[in-house]
Amino acid sequence: MNLLAQAGSGQPFIDWSWIADHTDDMTARTVKHIIFTGIAVGLGFAISLVLSLVIVRYRWTYGPITGVAGLLYTIPSLALFGLLIPITGFTVTTAEIALVSYTLLILIRNTVAGLDGVPSDVREAAVGMGFSPLQVLVKVDLPLALPVIVAGLRVATVTTIGLVTVTALIGMENLGTFITDGLQRLFITPVLVGAVLSIALAVAADIALLGVQRLVAPWTRAPEEAR
């Protein structure tokens, strides 16, 4: 940072007193950022789980469902907000619809892959022991698929944290607000604060979910390629 400060103009590179004055804002916006991410990933996971079960039951739906999810995934976030604003306005709904739709592809693919990975011998053994289809799902399929599902949740969460930042552009308050405010006033300190905090949050979430991933599958680390 010293080097950067020297290279900058007369004005100090980072205004530390501004940071000291805004610690409350930083906490509040970090919390909002986490809540926004939590809602998106939670809703996205609920939808993905249902769709994944449909796919596992009716295989032909895999192409169409992941096709639509893939299309949503390709649309840039700012564009998706723009397309939704005429319908739902500058609201949390607009932001969350877009955020949820970005989690679907990752979560569906991982959940289906996880369920597919359950050995059919184990499933048959459960059926043979008199498990009902629901019991097989809850007690056999989901626990065994969990490591791969959590791997998907991890990717979805980290991606969403980055995208929440962008919702500041449509008036949502979160860590991205520091960035948009700073850019508007050409004041670098808040820009950097917003960037550093959102990156730190993404990294922290990544590490925390890696821990969860190991925790739910103590007998084996999730295969390298599913991480």
Partner 1 sequence: MNGVLEFIADHRAEVVQHTWEHIQIAAISLLLTLAVALPPALWLAHTGRGGFLAINASNIGRALPSLAIIAVVFSLPGFGLSKSTVIFALVLLGIPPVLTNAYVGVRAVDRDVVEAARGMGMRGMEILRGVELPLAAPVIMAGVRTAAVQIVATATLGALVAAGGLGVFIIDGIALQDTARLVTGALLVALLAIVIDLGFGALERAVTPTGLTVTQRGEQAARRGGARRGRGDQVLADQTRRSGAG
Nearest to 120 by CA among 140, 150, 148: 140
186 phi-psi bin (left φ>0, alpha ψ -120 to 50, beta other): left
Region near partner 1 per CB under 8 A, out of 41-49, 66-74, 121-129, 132-140 = 66-74
- Evaluate whether 104 touches 47 at the Cβ level (below 8 Å): yes
> Shortest Cβ distance from residue 134 to partner 1 (Å)?
25
Q: Contact with partner 1 (CB under 8 A): which of 62, 73, 135, 137?
A: 73
Q: Which one-letter amino acid corresponds to residue 150?
A: V
Which residues 129-148 are close enough to bind partner 1 by CB under 8 A?
148
Residues 10-39, one symbol each (x = binds partner 1 by CB under 8 A, - = not), give ------------------------------
- Evaluate whether 36 touches 174 at the Cβ level (below 8 Å): yes
Total site size for partner 1, rule CB under 8 A:
59
Is residue 202 a contact residue for partner 1 (CB under 8 A)? Answer: yes
Strand, helix or coil at 163?
helix
Copy the structure tokens of residue 93: 């709904």
Long-range contacts at 87-92 (CB < 8 A, ≥ 24 apart): 90/170, 90/171, 92/172
Residues lying near partner 1 in the complex (CB under 8 A) are found at 4, 7-8, 71, 73-83, 85-86, 102, 105-106, 109-110, 113, 116-117, 148, 155, 158-159, 161-163, 165-166, 168-170, 176, 179-180, 182-183, 186, 188, 191-192, 194-196, 198-199, 202-203, 206, 223-227
